[in-house]
């Protein structure tokens, strides 16, 4: 029986010899493709390299028209080659031209070839190019041939990443991992940070790829796996594990992965094919990551980095790298780069040193983003390729206002941002000077400015910002950063700490709002096509009354002898409020029965986020003590627009006439029934939209702590009655073509209102 592993071993041995020869880059590539074609008995072997403009260019070929080299091009996602690069997935086809993604390039002369095997050239999970073999006969390539090509692609990845191909790339198009680059992402938290890259669980760059002794490498891998398993067991056995910020759920997942024989077998196969132990780990890591990155389930995407982290831990075991060795060198101005991370992991870093967070994954509602915003740091998400393009210590600028990351910025850009930061700091000083100034408008209207919170780390900002209280305390964050369901006593202690730190300032607790995109690792519902419209918030709580009653009891006991304000999220019908009132009454009776002290005053409210409540406004205002408008979801549901979808999120304006009329109807209903109304969505955090809210009649708004200063500066210069008259005319009048946003901007400019 033929030894299928002999082919890859022979090929890697010959490639090792080629890499050692003093050759020019083009000649080396040409000889590499000839060697691969010969070894695999392929009539064609081609290498496509990704350029900085996102185009895959043919760099070398054996079998296709040689004149097509550096002329044949495909965009990412275009043709078979572009599809492989975009998806980071191999393609093994017996008849390539029958594939729907096939694109004919006449200059290559490839129309006579049918069978096609293409693999992505990956480094740290990032596509740098594509390696292809082809034959005229229709056939599917064997598993060992696929393995050989994937292994060979690692060698090419190192050539590309080290810049060896720069000489044969047109100027300005090289994918240079050392030059300045700007990465476009999404703004998740405003602010600007200048500092240095800190890679979350820094990547180990493997340069020793090819082994001399497979048996010795298998032994090294086995020893490293043994040490890794022991270290995970040790972490799980520590009683103080939660105090270290580690997730037990994550560690249990690590233990499962570490003992997975499929993972071990794939690494051993890679070693038998000629790779070193660390190169085998990196290869399997890249392959697995490329598959996992296409997952759509939010829970699985949140957990995707667990496997990546485990592979990095194993690489550290193999290379002797100590993560702690860099701890003393944690920069004073750190910008943390991560594919994904948990909220607790962010809190493990020295908070005073963090200037920003860059994420390749996540969403604006991810709990790590919410925590980062509470910490007042800039966040850019969906920054594709950020981790692969950066190294520890690289200079970087994160612009949370525009959603851009400037990696290794040029001097002029650095200087411009330094001036911008100085200007922002000067404005912040001006805002701090207003901290103790009473928020009264120019025409004497008293406005209540409150802040949103959800963690104990938020509480110091209550005094620092000058907020009158917490208009929205998101209780779910305690659940989201915990590794197991918080017990009633833990919840009670947490809520008591919040009330104690808030002092005389009121706190409005929102009951548990999980489900949808708010993933809790230990509490998963069924997969839903539209989770935002599904089993979440009060719906989940009413279906799990034990969960809700535990929280209600904890809140009642924590507020003993004090005032308790609590509200329900995502109410759709007033009957849901009555159902919770019944559960609340049972908890009041239970607490009284056992002699516990009750709150001296209880205010019971609801969040208005679902448009259905607009046709129950009078009934709602009669039923509750106060209403809080959740403008984020209310806008999303009213306009049928997913705020996380870039293709439609900018299509509708939150300051458009339809939505402002909805908000006006709510506050007018509150006035009719003398029921206080607060708005606590992101809309309140922008000075321009906050001004619009005051013009509509809102006298209480809640926002991020950093937004309170600009909001107060705005309202101190505002004549609310004058603004109200103008807004009424533009909302109710039919003749004006001016947008509300344009009107507000003009009004602010004409009346000297700072925005």
- Boundaries of domain holding 319: 181-411
Q: Identify whether the C-beta of residue 143 lies closer than 8 Å to the C-beta of residue 120.
A: no
Q: pLDDT band at 334, cuts 50/70/90?
A: very high
Q: Are strands 395-399 and 192-199 parallel, antiparallel or unpaired?
A: antiparallel
Rounded to 5°, the CA angle 558-244-240 comes to 75
**Res 448 pLDDT > 80:** yes
**Res 658 pLDDT > 50:** yes
pLDDT tens column, 612-630: 999 999 999 999 999 999 9
**Res 428 pLDDT > 90:** no
Mean per-residue pLDDT, 64-81: 90
Find, among 36, 27, 13, the residue nearest to 119 by Cα: 36
DSSP state of 613: G
**Res 3 pLDDT > 50:** no
Residue 207 shares a structural domain with residue 65 = no
Residue 146, in any domain of the structure: yes
| CATH code where residue 369 lies | 1.10.274.10
Cα end-to-end distance, the chain, whole Å: 78
Mean per-residue pLDDT, 64-86: 89
Q: Which has the minimum average pLDDT: 162-176, 237-251, 280-294, 531-545? A: 237-251
Strand order in the sheet with 378-381: 181-184, 404-407, 395-399, 192-199, 334-338, 354-359, 378-381, 186-189
Domain boundary among the residues 605, 630, 664 is at 605
pLDDT tens column, 8-41: 677 777 887 888 888 898 999 999 999 999 988 8
The sign of the torsion formed by the CA atoms of 499, 503, 509, 515 equals negative
**Res 328 pLDDT > 60:** no
DSSP state of 342: -
Residue 14 shares a structural domain with residue 70 = yes
pLDDT tens column, 463-492: 889 999 999 999 987 787 666 788 999 999
**Res 708 pLDDT > 50:** yes
Its pTM stands at 0.64
Rounded to whole angstroms, how far apart are CA atoms 631 and 643?
12
Between 264 and 598, name the one with better pLDDT.
Answer: 598
pLDDT value at residue 651: 76
| CATH code where residue 484 lies | 3.20.20.60
Between 19 and 381, name the one with better pLDDT.
Answer: 381
Rounded to whole angstroms, how far apart are CA atoms 138 and 160?
32
Residue 358, in any domain of the structure: yes
Between 412 and 610, name the one with better pLDDT.
Answer: 610
Between 344 and 207, name the one with better pLDDT.
Answer: 207
| CATH code where residue 19 lies | 3.30.450.40
Q: pLDDT band at 2, cuts 50/70/90?
A: very low
Q: pLDDT band at 323, cuts 50/70/90?
A: very low
Residue 299, in any domain of the structure: yes
Q: Identify whether the C-beta of residue 660 lies closer than 8 Å to the C-beta of residue 379.
A: no
pLDDT value at residue 600: 94
Residue 218, in any domain of the structure: yes
Mean per-residue pLDDT, 132-161: 86
Residue reference for tokens 């071990």? 264
pLDDT value at residue 517: 60
Q: pLDDT band at 747, cuts 50/70/90?
A: very high
Rounded to whole angstroms, how far apart are CA atoms 443 and 180?
51
Domain boundary among the residues 364, 385, 411 is at 411
Into how many domains does the chain fold? Answer: 3
pLDDT value at residue 735: 64
Token pair, residue 1, equals 């029986």
Residue 371 shares a structural domain with residue 250 = yes
Mean per-residue pLDDT, 234-251: 47
Residue 407 shares a structural domain with residue 487 = no
pLDDT value at residue 666: 98
Residue reference for tokens 């594990």? 241
Mean per-residue pLDDT, 306-330: 66
pLDDT value at residue 175: 62
**Res 212 pLDDT > 60:** yes
**Res 306 pLDDT > 90:** no
**Res 734 pLDDT > 80:** no
Mean per-residue pLDDT, 580-589: 94
Which one of 265-279, 326-340, 487-501 scores highest in mean pLDDT? Answer: 487-501
Residue 210, in any domain of the structure: yes
Which one of 92-106, 147-161, 469-483 scores highest in mean pLDDT? Answer: 92-106
Find, among 117, 109, 151, 153, the residue nearest to 135 by Cα: 117
Between 171 and 114, name the one with better pLDDT.
Answer: 114
The DSSP string of 198-238 is: EESSPPPPP---B-S-HHHHHHHHHHHHHHHHHHHHHHHH-
Find, among 282, 271, 265, the residue nearest to 319 by Cα: 282
**Res 80 pLDDT > 60:** yes
Residue 164 shares a structural domain with residue 227 = no
**Res 48 pLDDT > 60:** yes
Residue 381 shares a structural domain with residue 475 = no
Q: Identify whether the C-beta of residue 518 lies closer than 8 Å to the C-beta of residue 476.
A: yes
pLDDT value at residue 460: 85
Residue 386, number of CB atoms within 10 A of its CB: 26
- Rounded to the nearest 10 degrees, what angle do helices 277-292 and 143-161 cross at? 100
pLDDT value at residue 305: 55
**Res 57 pLDDT > 70:** yes
> What stretch of H or E contains 338?
strand 334-338
Residue 241 shares a structural domain with residue 331 = yes
Q: Identify whether the C-beta of residue 560 lies closer than 8 Å to the C-beta of residue 588.
A: no
Residue 71 shares a structural domain with residue 110 = yes
Domain boundary among the residues 168, 189, 217 is at 168
pLDDT value at residue 5: 45
**Res 421 pLDDT > 80:** yes
Residue 146, number of CB atoms within 10 A of its CB: 16
Q: Identify whether the C-beta of residue 73 lies closer than 8 Å to the C-beta of residue 51.
A: no
Cα 614 to chain center, whole Å?
Answer: 33
pLDDT value at residue 327: 45
- Give me the chain's average pLDDT, please: 84
Residue 151, in any domain of the structure: yes
pLDDT value at residue 324: 40
Residue 445, in any domain of the structure: no
Q: Are strands 601-608 and 626-629 parallel, antiparallel or unpaired?
A: parallel
The DSSP string of 108-127 is: TTGGG--EEEEEEEEETTEE
Q: Identify whether the C-beta of residue 696 lies closer than 8 Å to the C-beta of residue 684.
A: no
Residue reference for tokens 């019944």? 582
Residue 536, in any domain of the structure: yes
Rounded to 5°, the CA angle 676-447-686 comes to 100
Residue 27 shares a structural domain with residue 111 = yes
Mean per-residue pLDDT, 673-682: 94
Residue 495 shares a structural domain with residue 406 = no
pLDDT value at residue 366: 65
Residue 217 shares a structural domain with residue 120 = no
DSSP β-bridge partners for residue 627: 606, 677
Rounded to whole angstroms, how far apart are CA atoms 653 and 491?
39
* Torsion angles phi and psi, residue 8, rounded to 5: -60, -35
Find, among 452, 398, 442, the residue nearest to 186 by Cα: 398
Residue 189 shares a structural domain with residue 52 = no
């Amino acid at each position: 029986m033929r030894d299928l592993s002999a082919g890859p071993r022979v090929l890697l041995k010959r490639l090792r010899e080629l890499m050692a020869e003093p050759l020019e880059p083009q000649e080396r590539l040409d000889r590499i493709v000839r060697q691969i074609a010969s070894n695999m008995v392929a009539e064609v072997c081609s290498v496509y390299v990704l350029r900085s403009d996102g185009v895959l260019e043919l760099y070398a070929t054996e079998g296709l028209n040689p004149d097509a080299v550096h002329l044949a091009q495909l965009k990412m996602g275009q043709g078979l080659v572009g599809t492989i690069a975009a998806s980071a997935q191999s393609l093994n086809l017996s008849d390539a031209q029958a594939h729907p993604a096939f694109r004919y390039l006449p200059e290559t002369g490839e129309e006579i070839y049918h069978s096609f095997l293409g693999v992505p050239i990956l480094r740290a999970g990032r596509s740098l190019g594509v390696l292809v073999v082809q034959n005229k006969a229709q056939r599917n390539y064997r598993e060992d041939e696929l393995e050989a090509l994937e292994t060979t692609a690692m060698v090419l990845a190192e050539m590309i990443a080290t810049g060896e191909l720069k000489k044969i790339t047109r100027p300005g198009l090289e994918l240079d991992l050392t030059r300045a680059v700007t990465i476009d992402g999404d703004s998740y938290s405003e602010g600007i940070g200048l500092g240095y890259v800190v890679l979350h669980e820094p990547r180990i760059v493997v340069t020793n790829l090819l082994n001399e002794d497979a048996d010795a490498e298998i032994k090294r891998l086995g020893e490293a796996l043994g040490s890794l398993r022991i270290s995970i067991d040790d972490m799980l056995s520590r009683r103080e594990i939660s105090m270290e910020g580690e997730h037990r759920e994550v560690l249990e997942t690590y233990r499962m992965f570490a003992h997975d024989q499929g993972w071990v077998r794939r690494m051993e196969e890679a070693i038998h094919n000629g790779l070193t132990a660390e190169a085998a780990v990196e290869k399997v890591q890249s392959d697995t990551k490329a598959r996992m990155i296409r997952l759509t389930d939010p829970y699985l995407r949140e957990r995707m980095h667990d496997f990546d982290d485990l592979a990095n831990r194993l690489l550290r075991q193999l290379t002797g790298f100590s993560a702690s060795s860099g701890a003393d060198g944690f920069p004073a101005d750190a910008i943390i780069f991560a594919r994904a991370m948990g909220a607790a992991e962010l809190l493990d870093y020295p908070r005073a040193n963090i200037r920003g967070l860059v994420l390749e994954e996540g969403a604006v509602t991810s709990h790590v983003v919410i925590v980062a915003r509470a910490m007042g740091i800039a966040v850019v998400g969906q920054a594709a390729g950020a981790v692969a393009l950066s190294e520890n210590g690289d200079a970087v600028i994160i612009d949370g206002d525009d959603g851009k990351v400037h990696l290794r910025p040029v001097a002029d850009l650095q200087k411009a941002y330094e001036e911008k930061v100085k200007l922002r700091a000067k404005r912040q000083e001006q805002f701090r000077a207003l901290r103790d100034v009473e928020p009264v408008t120019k025409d004497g209207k008293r406005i209540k400015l409150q802040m949103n919170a959800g963690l104990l780390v938020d509480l110091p900002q209550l005094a620092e910002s000058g907020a009158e209280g917490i208009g929205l305390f998101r209780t779910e964050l305690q659940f989201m950063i915990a590794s197991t369901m918080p017990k009633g006593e833990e919840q009670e202690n947490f809520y008591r700490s919040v009330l104690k730190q808030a002092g005389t300032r009121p706190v409005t607790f929102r009951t548990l709002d999980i489900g949808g995109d708010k993933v809790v690792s230990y509490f998963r519902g069924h997969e839903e096509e539209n989770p935002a419209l599904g089993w979440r918030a009060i719906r989940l709580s009413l279906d799990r009354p034990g969960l809700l009653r535990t929280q209600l009891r904890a809140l009642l006991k924590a507020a003993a002898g004090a005032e308790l304000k609590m509200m329900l999220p995502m109410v759709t019908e007033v009957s849901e409020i009555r159902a919770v009132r019944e559960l609340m009454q049972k908890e009041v009776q239970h607490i009284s029965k056992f002699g516990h002290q009750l709150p001296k005053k209880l205010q019971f409210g609801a969040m208005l986020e679902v448009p259905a409540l607009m046709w129950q406004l009078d009934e709602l205002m009669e039923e509750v003590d106060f209403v809080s408008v959740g403008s984020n979801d209310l806008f999303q549901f009213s306009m049928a627009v997913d705020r996380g979808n870039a293709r439609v999120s900018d299509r509708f304006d939150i300051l458009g006439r339809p939505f402002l009329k909805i908000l006006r109807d709510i506050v007018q209903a509150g006035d009719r029934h003398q029921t206080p109304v607060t708005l606590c969505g992101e809309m309140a955090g922008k000075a321009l939209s906050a001004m619009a809210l005051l013009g509509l009649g809102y006298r209480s708004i809640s926002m991020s702590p950093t937004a309170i200063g600009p909001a107060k500066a705005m309202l101190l210069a505002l004549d609310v009655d004058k603004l109200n008259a103008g807004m009424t005319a533009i909302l109710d009048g039919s003749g004006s073509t001016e947008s509300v946003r344009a009107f507000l901007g003009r009004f602010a400019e004409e009346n000297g209102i700072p925005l």
